Amino acid sequence: QARRWRRFARALPVAEQRQAVDFKAAREDFPILREEQRPGVPIVYLDNAATSQKPLQVLAELNRFYRSDNSNVHRGMHTLSIRATEAFEGARAKIAKFVNAADPHEIIFTRNASEAINLVAFTWARANLREGDEILLSVMEHHSNLVPWQMVAKDIGATLRFLGLTPEGMLDVSKLDELLTERTRLVAISQVSNVLGCVNPIQDIARRAHSLGAKLLVDACQSVPHMRVDVQQLGADWLVASGHKMCGPTGVGFLWGRAELLRAMPPFLGGGEMIDEVHLDHFTTADIPHKFEAGTPAFAEAAALGAACDYLSGLGMDNIQAREHELTEYLWRRLSEIPGITMYGPTPAQCPDRAALCSFNIEGCHPNDLATLVDQEHGIAMRAGHHCTQPLHRELGITFSARLSAYFYNTVEEIDTAVAAIKDTAELLKGFA
């Protein structure tokens, strides 16, 4: 029966990309963008690096699944179970197509990207790393791509090493050859920083890491939703992403890995679904992907994530990236007009493909106060804090920062509203200082 679902998944098509997109019309797919903070004050949602909003097409698929197909997957011969399994495995195929995986078998469903990284850390790393081995990270990593490696390194006796930043706030790859040694077994790095917005040269890092026999894991949470990502071209060994940042539901993400690596890795969790045979004194594992999917999966959420892939593919990832490039330049220019502002990361001129986010501080204003007041008074949804990157903030010499982050459905008018609100609020806060 499992072979049947894999054949079905390989045959399932994904929506074709269009050449031209009306992004103003696309906003109508997101009913939450019409919400108000209070009567007459619309919410301006610029917190997309934390989570994206969900289009009607994704909400409809989640509702359709529960209304029409709900049943546990893989373990039933009845109609509903078959339909649920087809939706679940169909979503796997859509994700594989979305990131150009060689086969749907290479896509492992997880709760989120954090779990996907932990999966690699607690299987491959613990089975292959030894005392004295080195793991190369960067100072800009999200805690999810740092803490699991700290845990592994502490238990095994491995050493963590870190790439730093250039003065412009980009990854300092000039130190890569110095930090990559014959002791390096793994490089784990983000493709796009959730604070600095810079895009890291993954293909070059992959080539240089592999030349020394090291493996590469890529945190693609801030890239997969915003640009075309081709896992075969990147040259990585594993890549992780979260569904909720790419117009999908919460509670589901995925790990992509090279099939030969996944098959060689020990299982992560034990239980139903991940087994082939179970005896009283031993068990054998199922083949990938089910080997790493113990227990009942988030099958409804997976189906909705497949719908999100359809939606984004329909808009076209190149179109989305081009749209966000326009928003990035405008956001950076407008924010730079605010007196006393310090912005982190490279300018659009220094990194033309940088993400549509900007982290900043304003002299005399605590980011938490700023974020609270612009929401309460102006309906601006923005983020304040360390953005799960405390070491990076220490590297920058700060404790917290504010962050605006746009997605394709945002507009220049919303950026104007947000900047005006931030400017007025900053003046107010400075008056109380």
Please, which residues bridge with residue 342 across strands?
361
Confidence (pTM): 0.94
In one-letter notation, the amino acid at residue 189 is I
- For residue 125, the model assigns a pLDDT of 98
pLDDT value at position 432?
Answer: 73
CB 161 within 8 A of CB 307: no
For the chain (433 residues), the mean pLDDT of every run of 10, in chain order, is: 41 48 96 97 98 98 97 93 97 98 98 98 98 98 98 98 98 96 98 98 98 98 98 98 98 98 97 95 96 96 98 98 98 98 98 97 97 98 98 98 98 98 95 72
Amino acid making up residue 152: V
Provide the token pair at 343: 């912005």
* Residue 300 confidence (pLDDT): 98
pLDDT tens readout for residues 9-58: 434 434 444 468 999 999 999 999 999 999 999 999 999 999 999 999 99
β-pairing verdict for 357-362 and 341-344: antiparallel
Q: What percent of the chain has pLDDT over 90?
A: 94
Q: Please give the C-alpha separations between residue 426 and each of 336, 387, 418, 421, in angstroms, as whole numbers.
A: 14, 21, 12, 8
Instruction: Count other Cβ atoms within 10 Å, centred on residue 355.
Output: 29
Strand order in the sheet with 341-344: 341-344, 357-362, 401-405, 383-385
Euclidean distance between CA atoms 223 and 209, whole angstroms: 21
CA-nearest of 88, 20, 38 to 290 is 88
pLDDT at residue 7 in the model: 41
Structure tokens at 345: 């990361």
What's the residue count for the chain?
A: 433
Strands 184-190 and 159-163: unpaired
Distance CA 116, CA 245 (A): 15
Residue type, 198: C
User: Which candidate, 433, 373, 383, 374, places its Cα nearest to that of 403?
Assistant: 383
Q: What is the pLDDT of residue 408?
A: 98
Pairing mode, strands 283-285 and 275-278? antiparallel
Name which of 376, 373, 367, 429 is nearest 404 in CA terms. Answer: 367
Rounded to 5 degrees, φ, ψ at 120 are -70, -40
From 221, 247, 351, 388, active-site residue: 388
CB 405 within 8 A of CB 50: yes
427 backbone dihedrals φ, ψ, rounded to 5°: -65, -40
Q: Is 198 an annotated catalytic residue? A: no
What is the per-residue pLDDT for 1? 41
Give the Cα separation of 282 and 266 in Å (integer).
14
Task: Report the sign of the C-alpha dihedral through residues 343, 344, 349, 353, in that order.
Answer: negative
Helix, strand or coil, per DSSP, at residue 29: helix
Please give the Cα distance from 118 to 60 (Å, whole number): 31
In eight-state DSSP terms, residue 18 is P
Q: What integer pLDDT is reported at residue 16 of this predicted model?
A: 42
With tokens 């502490």, the residue in question is: 154
* Structural tokens at position 169: 């706030």
Listed residue (277, 296, 274, 272) closest to 287, CA to CA = 274
Report pLDDT for 19. Answer: 63
Q: How much is the pLDDT for 433? A: 61
* pLDDT computed for residue 20 by the predictor: 84
Provide the pLDDT for residue 167: 97
